[in-house]
Amino acid sequence: MVSRARPCAGALLVCAAIAVSCCWDFQGANAAAPTPSFGDNFEITGAEDHVKTSPDGQTWYLSLDNKTGVGFQTKQKYLFGWFSMKLKLVGNDSAGVVTAYYMCSDLDAAPQRDELDFEFLGNRTGEPYIIQTNVYRSGVGGREMRHSLWFDPTVDFHSYSILWNPKQIVFFVDKVAIREYRNSDKPNMFFPIAKPMYVFSSIWNADDWATRGGLEKTDWTKGPFVSSYSDFTADACAWASGPAPPACAAVTGDSWWDQPPAWALDKGQRQDNGWVARNLMIYDYCDDRKRFPTVPEECALRTATTS
């Protein structure tokens, strides 16, 4: 893990077409250090014959067929930090296929798990992917948001990142803040804050719900379905074995992701996030009165304007 980087403001230029730019502050990266391979950071979960690796060890390919899917998980768990991965999603007809990139406090779907999710919902050829994000606390989720993207995620690699600290969780796509999820000082807030998490990814068949609510089924004649991964970065607080939290988990620590500039979106990020909400949002649980007759209290903490 050698990339020490953080996003900067104003990644989107909103005009007739979207232009994405980015800048990075490198936080003490050692350019002379060897780049770790995926195998240094991750271990495979599932059928190992459904994973391929590039000759340099930097890119992994996960394959789904009508027999099984596959996944991987980090060897290390973390409490707070910046987590980023580049993905290229399944191309052509991917209806029913879900590629998941997420963080979870447990190695299985434990009833009391905390979780932060990116889920990429495949579609029929020519139809756009949908990106779903979700937040779980103590086994309870239901905080789904869905967006379309401003690019085709099957053509090239794009970065998908999570900033997690005690003040906020932000989901980024190519350094654009697509979702802001904030904490407050109120007791019992719906915010995962105490449990360290592993980083996972997987590809699996979810044609009972993923595409048009399950109306579009996976066409196995188009398989195998392959998702690709590279450039994993975890600039984060690694949690060693044992009950005591590491020193880096303390608020106002030494890391950039736990200092005041990372505790809220800046002006440019709020503008980007507002544009995404106005133009790319498909579903927001905060607006779903059927599921939530009373608006969840974290919804009122958002700082980006949608007007």
Q: Is 144 a catalytic residue?
A: no
Give me the catalytic one of 115, 180, 216, 298.
115
Give me the catalytic one of 119, 180, 216, 298.
119
Place of tokens 């936080």: 27
Provide the β-strand partners of residue 227.
62
Q: What's the CA gap between 140 and 181, in Å, rounded?
A: 16
Q: Is 298 a catalytic residue?
A: no
Q: What's the CA gap between 282 and 56, in Å, rounded?
A: 39
* Residue 134 near residue 119, CB atoms below 8 Å: yes
Query: % helix / strand / coil in the chain, to the nearest 5?
Result: 15, 35, 50
Give, for 237, the enclosing helix (H) or strand (E). strand 225-239
Q: What's the CA gap between 63 and 204, in Å, rounded?
A: 9
Give, for 41, the enclosing helix (H) or strand (E). helix 38-41
* Residue 80 near residue 245, CB atoms below 8 Å: no
Which residues are marked as active site?
115, 119
